[in-house]
Amino acid sequence: ETHPRRTPRARRGAGGYVTMPPWAPVKITHVILDLDGTLINTEQLVDEVVGAVLRKHDASLDTKSIRNAIEGVRGMRPLDGSRIIIENLKLRKDGAADGPALTAEELLAETEVELNGRWGEVNTMPGAERLLALLRRHEVPTALATSTPAKYLSAKLASHPNLLQHVACVCTGDEVRRGKPDPSIFLLAAERLGVDDPSSCLVVEDTPLGCQAAKAAGMRVLAVPSIQNFNLYSGHADELCRSLYDVDPARWGLPSFDDWRELVPGMSLDRYLPLTTPIRMRGPVVKGFGRGSKMLGIPTANLDVAPLKLQADALAPGIYFGWAAVAKEDPRDVGGSVYRMVMSIGWNPFFDNAKKTIEPWLLHEFAGDFYDQELRLHVLGYIRPEANFTTIEDLIKRIHRDAEVAKTCLALEEFAKHADDPFLVEGLVPN
């Protein structure tokens, strides 16, 4: 740990990205959490709905322009963000060049209709309930500071009505005159928590604007980015973690998690986090980027993310282990059994993927490809976050190390028994 009075030095986290150690002159005593993109996964739904409405008013907009416009206001109050999107994209009603300008109220009303019918699809972010349970168990005073107006809050949490039941106070975007990046909402949360010194508060945020607001409030900031361009967080976050799985509260003087396990005591590099609930997914094997075999010598059996959105959203981007089964419909097909696997899910920073991918590596030598055959995955544990490696050699070395961690974990009885799970073995036709 870094001593509070020492000059901090940048250090490289387990994921290969640089973070700054905490150097707060006072102990962190209170935690303030953002909601959207931090505790609940609304961002993808909002992006989908808002993007469709924007295209309705300007069919010429490409995916990149829409994404940049939406990400540029992520963290703002809905009406504030709508106003800036319209201004930046110069939107007019129904795309008519000589038509009246679209108003923020009109854009918000259109998106509301669609979103209000779909908030029930929203899941909690991976690790959110784990973090809230830790704070509750150790009685750490916790507040919510969200840009969401009060009238939308219950709808967003309809599928998770008890998520905030132990949060000491809730501050919504309509309770302050100015939204993020203005610090007002965080100062309001501190006031309701009875905090005298804002620097004793740790804010957990997913957006650059939210981090900027928390910093302006004089608080310590832990970023868990929902935007892939991490440079946008520079100067606004004291620490950056790729997911809530990777948050270590002990670095801030808070109680630590006790569910991470080390394969070898004292060797924290080789550790794993068992999933509270295993994640199952199945689908036909699809062609990937062709780089697994050609560039890395590591053939992966990719699945299409689109039909598996619910399962994919339940996993933070990162590296996992578990069991895989390859079903056979023809005796000439390969597979027909259950295999150990290590899996990457996310955007693969080294290759800078434009979309999320599911890339399991089955730890077995197959006689041939098995495209279009059904692949079943039973995901049991988390190994590490995604990382951007300096060289392809470093990437290959780390993937092989992940495979060794997976093999060791799957030999443990708590994970080995899952190889016989009915989801995997039902209807398999062995060679």
Full DSSP string of 34-102 = --BTTTB--HHHHHHHHHHHHHHH-TT--HHHHHHHHHTTTTS-HHHHHHHHHHHHT-BGGG-TTSPBP
Position of tokens 């918000």?
108
Length of the chain: 431
Q: How far is CA 60 from the centre of its chain?
A: 30
Cα(191)–Cα(170) distance, integer angstroms? 12
Contact 252, 24 (CB under 8 A): yes
Amino acid at 11: R
DSSP 302: B
First to last CA, the chain: 54
Alpha helix positions (H), 162-254: 184-193, 208-216
Cα(268)–Cα(271) distance, integer angstroms? 6
Q: Given 43, 205, 359, 402, which residue is catalytic?
A: 359
Cα(255)–Cα(59) distance, integer angstroms? 51
Cα(23)–Cα(57) distance, integer angstroms? 48
Active site residue 34: yes
Cα(241)–Cα(376) distance, integer angstroms? 30
Cα(166)–Cα(140) distance, integer angstroms? 10
Active site residue 36: yes
Q: Given 36, 43, 386, 421, which residue is catalytic?
A: 36
Q: Given 34, 43, 182, 205, which residue is catalytic?
A: 34
Quick count: other Cβ atoms within 10 Å of Cβ 22? 18
Burial 160-171 (b: 16+ CB within 10 A, else e): eeebbeebbbbb
What residues act catalytically?
34, 36, 359
